[in-house]
Amino acid sequence: MVNLIKSGAVVAALLFAYWLGLTNGKNSEELKNARSQIATLQSVVQEFKAKQKSDAIALAQLRIDESARRTELDRMRNQLSAIERRAKNDADRERNRCLRLAIEGKELLEEASRAIKFCAENHK
C-alpha cells in the first residue's frame, strides 16, 4: 500500500511537472508573439510621429507664407488707396478699380494655391 502511494505521488509529480512545462512553453510562445506585436506597434507609432511632425512643419510653413502674402497684399491695398486719393478723373478711377480687382484676384489665387499645395503635400 505504501508503495502504491509512493508510486501515485511520483506519477502525480511527473504529471504536474509535465503540465508546468507545457504551461511555461505556452506562456513563452505568447510572450514572443506579444513582443513581436509590441515592436510592430512601436514602428507604426514612430511612423505616425514622423508624419505628424512633417504635417506640423508644413502647416507652420504655410502660416509663414500666408503671413508674408497678407503683408504684401496689405501693402498693395495701402498703395492703391493712396493712388485713389490722388486720382483726379474717371479714367484714373477706372484704372484704380482694375488694380483693386487685380489685387483681389491675386488674393484668391494665393488662397487656392496654398490649399492645393497643402493637400498635395499632406494627403498623398
Residues 6+ apart with CB under 8 A from 69: 107, 110
16-48 pLDDT tens trace: 766 766 676 666 777 678 788 888 989 999 999
Type of residue numbered 120: A
51-71 pLDDT tens trace: 999 889 988 998 898 899 889
Predicted TM-score of the model (pTM): 0.47
Structural contact between residues 124 and 76, judged by C-beta atoms closer than 8 angstroms: no
| Whole-angstrom distance, CA of residue 100 vs CA of residue 11 | 99
Task: Measure CA of the first residue to CA of the last residue in the chain; give whole Å.
Answer: 80
Would you state the cell numbers that stand for residue 3, as one nine-digit string? 508503495
**Angle, CA 117 vertex, CA 66 and CA 63 arms, to 5°:** 25
